[in-house]
A = this chain, B = another copy of it.
């Protein structure tokens, strides 16, 4: 079950409801939100666009950056590779996968792939690598270190491949303990990224940031063509304006991480088996299938993937809406 909308965002919407706005994202709230985002990213020349949902955002951004003979490189476990019902292929592009190392790609394997491609005598009959997609946090909650991101960014630059960072849960990634990756780092090292709103307490909304004066030509028309242009764009502008006022976005992230750290302690204490070590709000544990039903009576979890014939990996997540009481209750029932 999903949780309620973040009350501050709802309040912002209520407060804005006395005014009139231009449509299609041309309103003052979208403009204000864009300014605040540019400032938070230390990226004064960025261009920002608001879309609705991770799959839609990935689909539109990737298709707008690739020519028809190009594909996008992503981890085998990347959202675009697994849980978008083929949204990328739907627009005509192949998702070329690299091995996933706890959800992350490795710069050396990326470089090797591209290098081998150009040395492959058959490459004119193959899909050209056109850009690189990574998620931060990854689909497994893991984070790239600043060094890892930097090396990947360098490889992308060397091979002239735009780097696109999916930040569906970016706020949680920025707030994790011991991460050196902040918003300006994300903006500096990528060519385009998005700041997730939906998973951070918004009703709906992701902010796409083109960081290098590289917005594709006529991007709004492309968005419209992909069925992604919201008439009442300020719905998202209001929320992102509130997110980036008084550090709300970062506080939400910090809160969820605080709760997640407690959750991890509880799971450890109770002897649960972790699928991997995740420093952010999503935790993945391995449960015996026989115990899934009972567990489901006391705990809201998501099926993640099959582990083996008798075990399943499930996902537990904290978010902006997890309360201390929720955590305390979990301590009792687990």
Query: Is A181 an interface position by the 8 A CB rule?
Result: no
A226 touches B224 (CB 8 A): no
Of A81-89, A101-109, A184-192, A242-250, the one with at least 4 CB within 8 A of chain B: A81-89
B124 touches A302 (CB 8 A): no
- Contact flags (1/0) for A208-235 with B, using CB distance below 8 Å? 0000000001101110111111111011
Among B5, B83, B125, point to the contact of A83 (Cβ < 8 A): B125
Query: Is A45 an interface position by the 8 A CB rule?
Result: no
A77 to chain B, nearest CB (A): 13
A125 touches B221 (CB 8 A): yes
Query: Is A127 an interface position by the 8 A CB rule?
Result: yes
Query: Is A99 an interface position by the 8 A CB rule?
Result: no
Among B22, B92, B235, point to the contact of A90 (Cβ < 8 A): B92
How far apart sit A5 and B87, CA to CA, in the bound complex (Å)? 31
A225 touches B63 (CB 8 A): no
Q: Known interface pairs A18-B4, A87-B227, A120-B303. Does A235 touch B204 (Cβ–Cβ under 8 Å)?
A: yes
B126 touches A85 (CB 8 A): yes
Q: Which residues of B contact A126 (CB under 8 A)?
A: 82-83, 85-86, 221
A1-49 interface with B by 8 A CB criterion:
1-5, 7, 10, 13-14, 17-23, 27
Among B19, B90, B221, point to the contact of A85 (Cβ < 8 A): B221
* Residue of A4, A59, A220 with highest tally of chain B CB at under 10 A: A4
Q: Which residues of B contact A19 (CB under 8 A)?
A: 4
Q: Which residues of B contact A93 (CB under 8 A)?
A: 86, 89
How far apart sit A125 and B226, CA to CA, in the bound complex (Å)? 11
B227 touches A69 (CB 8 A): no
Among B1, B10, B306, point to the contact of A120 (Cβ < 8 A): B306
How far apart sit A224 and B125, CA to CA, in the bound complex (Å)? 6
* Residue of A5, A227, A232, A305 with highest tally of chain B CB at under 10 A: A227
B218 touches A232 (CB 8 A): no
Query: Is A262 an interface position by the 8 A CB rule?
Result: no
How far apart sit A84 and B228, CA to CA, in the bound complex (Å)? 11
How far apart sit A204 and B7, CA to CA, in the bound complex (Å)? 19
Residue of B nearest to A234 (CB): B2
Q: Which residues of B contact A160 (CB under 8 A)?
A: none
B87 touches A89 (CB 8 A): no
Query: Is A150 an interface position by the 8 A CB rule?
Result: no
Q: Which residues of B contact A119 (CB under 8 A)?
A: 306
